[in-house]
Amino acid sequence: MSTIVYDEVVPEEIYEFGDDSYAAAIAVGVDVLTVLAVLYGHPVHRRFVGTTGLIVTGRTPTGQIISIGLLELPGRDNVYRVAEVTVLPPEQAAAAEKRLEGEI
Protein backbone atom coordinates (compact mmCIF):
# COMPACT_ATOMS: atom_id res chain seq x y z
CA MET A 1 0.00 0.00 0.00
CA SER A 2 1.38 3.40 -0.94
CA THR A 3 0.42 6.82 0.35
CA ILE A 4 0.83 10.14 -1.42
CA VAL A 5 -0.20 13.63 -0.28
CA TYR A 6 -0.83 16.02 -3.16
CA ASP A 7 -0.94 19.76 -2.65
CA GLU A 8 -1.54 20.42 -6.34
CA VAL A 9 -3.73 18.90 -9.03
CA VAL A 10 -3.23 15.14 -9.47
CA PRO A 11 -2.82 13.37 -12.81
CA GLU A 12 -5.95 13.36 -14.97
CA GLU A 13 -8.54 10.99 -13.58
CA ILE A 14 -12.21 10.52 -14.26
CA TYR A 15 -14.65 9.88 -11.43
CA GLU A 16 -17.96 8.19 -12.16
CA PHE A 17 -21.03 7.86 -9.99
CA GLY A 18 -23.63 5.11 -10.07
CA ASP A 19 -26.76 4.66 -8.01
CA ASP A 20 -24.67 3.02 -5.29
CA SER A 21 -22.33 6.04 -5.27
CA TYR A 22 -25.17 8.47 -4.71
CA ALA A 23 -26.60 6.23 -1.98
CA ALA A 24 -23.21 6.04 -0.21
CA ALA A 25 -22.90 9.84 -0.15
CA ILE A 26 -26.47 10.45 0.93
CA ALA A 27 -26.18 7.83 3.70
CA VAL A 28 -23.57 9.97 5.48
CA GLY A 29 -25.17 13.33 4.70
CA VAL A 30 -22.74 14.40 1.99
CA ASP A 31 -23.84 15.61 -1.44
CA VAL A 32 -22.17 14.70 -4.72
CA LEU A 33 -20.79 18.21 -5.29
CA THR A 34 -18.98 17.98 -1.96
CA VAL A 35 -17.49 14.62 -2.98
CA LEU A 36 -16.30 16.15 -6.25
CA ALA A 37 -14.85 19.16 -4.41
CA VAL A 38 -12.66 16.80 -2.38
CA LEU A 39 -11.70 14.59 -5.34
CA TYR A 40 -10.61 17.58 -7.43
CA GLY A 41 -9.40 19.71 -4.51
CA HIS A 42 -6.08 19.97 -2.76
CA PRO A 43 -4.42 19.13 -0.56
CA VAL A 44 -5.62 15.53 -0.53
CA HIS A 45 -4.23 12.36 0.94
CA ARG A 46 -4.30 9.46 -1.54
CA ARG A 47 -3.79 5.83 -0.59
CA PHE A 48 -3.72 3.10 -3.20
CA VAL A 49 -5.16 -0.21 -2.06
CA GLY A 50 -4.20 -3.23 -4.12
CA THR A 51 -4.15 -2.75 -7.87
CA THR A 52 -7.60 -1.21 -8.36
CA GLY A 53 -8.54 0.59 -5.15
CA LEU A 54 -7.95 4.19 -4.14
CA ILE A 55 -8.92 6.11 -1.00
CA VAL A 56 -8.89 9.91 -1.20
CA THR A 57 -9.17 11.89 2.02
CA GLY A 58 -9.60 15.63 2.07
CA ARG A 59 -11.31 18.68 3.48
CA THR A 60 -14.75 19.65 2.21
CA PRO A 61 -15.56 23.30 1.45
CA THR A 62 -17.20 23.46 4.91
CA GLY A 63 -14.08 22.09 6.65
CA GLN A 64 -15.33 18.57 7.29
CA ILE A 65 -12.85 15.73 6.61
CA ILE A 66 -14.15 12.88 4.46
CA SER A 67 -12.69 9.78 2.85
CA ILE A 68 -13.86 8.53 -0.52
CA GLY A 69 -13.34 4.92 -1.54
CA LEU A 70 -12.94 4.41 -5.29
CA LEU A 71 -12.55 1.38 -7.54
CA GLU A 72 -10.77 1.62 -10.87
CA LEU A 73 -13.06 0.30 -13.58
CA PRO A 74 -11.80 -2.80 -15.41
CA GLY A 75 -10.01 -1.98 -18.65
CA ARG A 76 -10.28 1.78 -18.07
CA ASP A 77 -7.07 3.27 -16.70
CA ASN A 78 -7.60 6.22 -14.36
CA VAL A 79 -11.39 5.90 -14.45
CA TYR A 80 -12.78 5.37 -10.97
CA ARG A 81 -16.25 4.67 -9.59
CA VAL A 82 -17.13 6.13 -6.20
CA ALA A 83 -17.88 3.14 -3.97
CA GLU A 84 -17.94 4.57 -0.45
CA VAL A 85 -18.02 7.90 1.37
CA THR A 86 -17.08 8.21 5.03
CA VAL A 87 -17.18 11.22 7.34
CA LEU A 88 -14.17 10.82 9.63
CA PRO A 89 -14.74 10.85 13.38
CA PRO A 90 -12.84 13.54 15.35
CA GLU A 91 -9.71 11.48 16.16
CA GLN A 92 -9.28 10.29 12.58
CA ALA A 93 -10.06 13.75 11.22
CA ALA A 94 -7.34 15.25 13.45
CA ALA A 95 -4.79 12.72 12.15
CA ALA A 96 -5.87 13.39 8.56
CA GLU A 97 -5.48 17.14 9.12
CA LYS A 98 -1.87 16.58 10.19
CA ARG A 99 -1.19 14.55 7.03
CA LEU A 100 -2.85 17.19 4.85
CA GLU A 101 -0.77 19.91 6.48
CA GLY A 102 2.45 17.91 6.04
CA GLU A 103 3.04 17.31 9.74
CA ILE A 104 3.20 13.52 9.33
Cis peptide before 43 (omega within 30 of 0): yes
Residue 10: is its pLDDT beyond 70? no
Residue 93: is its pLDDT beyond 90? yes
d(CA 82, CA 63): 21
d(CA 36, CA 2): 22
Using a 10 angstrom Cβ sphere, with 0-12 exposed, 13-18 middle and 19 or more buried, the burial of residue 9 is exposed
Domain count, the chain: 1
Q: How confident is the model at residue 1 (pLDDT cuts 50, 70, 90)?
A: very low
d(CA 48, CA 34): 21
Q: Alpha carbon of 62 to those of 3, 53, 59: distances in Å? A: 25, 26, 8
User: Tens digit of pLDDT for each residue in 11-64?
Assistant: 688 999 999 999 999 999 999 999 999 999 989 999 999 989 999 999 999 999
Q: How confident is the model at residue 4 (pLDDT cuts 50, 70, 90)?
A: low
d(CA 78, CA 56): 14
Q: Print the domain residue range for 18.
A: 2-100
More confident residue, 18 or 10: 18
